[in-house]
Chains A and B, each alone.
Chain A
Amino acid sequence: DIQMTQSPASLSASLEEIVTITCQASQDIGNWLAWYQQKPGKSPQLLIYGATSLADGVPSRFSGSRSGTQYSLKISRLQVEDIGIYYCLQAYSAPLTFGSGTKLEIK
């Protein structure tokens, strides 16, 4: 199974700050990587797919990048509505596996 190592586990940042979350894949998954946001008490929402493509309706302050088997989600200017837990997903091969999550809070 492909392991996705996500960091940090939690993050506290100020409004308008740049935030970066990373996922390291245990093997090559190409661009088969997605990012999800889960707000408190809600179901996950797709933010990024194909490592870098923005899902419909997602603000442009969210972006994804890849360097080898390391993937990053960047929030360029943190807003209050961005609080929640963020997960990466490898969609390269079954079993599809998620990262352990990053809890994002406002400082």
Chain B
Amino acid sequence: EVQLVESGGGLVQPGRSLKLSCAASGFTFSNYYMAWVRQAPKKGLEWVATISTSGSRTYYPDSVKGRFTISRDNAKSSLYLQMNSLKSEDTATYYCARLNYNYFDYWGQGVMVTVSS
């Protein structure tokens, strides 16, 4: 059974940093692109970052480019999201998701990040 379990969320002040983690199991992690998707409270879904199988290629929307960094450790079957210079508009539930032909086919339960002073 595919499982994705996020951790590392919480309350953080504007301008500070936070690192999210996602532990994957139930599939060969190193064979799949992985991604982060977020959802602001009562809002829709927004793609945040994608990483290739080896980690050599990463992709971001303009809204987070230069502030967020996606990475992975295939030996640990883990995905990460380093978030710097956080803004109030980054407040959201962050989901770890597996990519299959550009579709998010499995999602974690999500982790809440609140950016507030």
- Interface-forming stretch among A16-24, A64-72, A73-81, A92-100? A92-100
Chain A contributes a number of interface residues (CB within 8 A of B) equal to 21
Contact A91 B45 (CB under 8 A): no
Is chain B's binding surface mostly helix, strand, loop or mixed? strand
B58 to chain A, nearest CB (A): 11
Contacts of A98 in B (CB 8 A): 44-47
**Cβ-defined contact, B104 with A46, below 8 A:** yes
- CB A73 to nearest CB in B, in angstroms, measures 15
CB-based contact B102/A96 at 8 Å: yes
| Min CB–CB distance B113 → chain A (angstroms) | 15
State in angstroms the CA–CA spacing of A55 and B100 once bound together: 12
Contact A55 B105 (CB under 8 A): yes
Does B32 sit at the interface, judged by CB under 8 A?
A: no
What is A's interface to B at a CB cutoff of 8 Å? 32, 34, 36, 43-46, 49, 55, 87, 89, 91-92, 94-101
> What would 16 A/B residue contacts be, using CB atoms closer than 8 Å?
A32-B102, A34-B104, A43-B107, A43-B108, A43-B109, A44-B104, A45-B107, A49-B103, A89-B45, A89-B104, A94-B50, A95-B47, A96-B102, A98-B44, A98-B47, A99-B44
> Could you tell me which B residues sit within 8 Å of A by CB distance?
44-47, 50, 59, 61-62, 95, 100-110
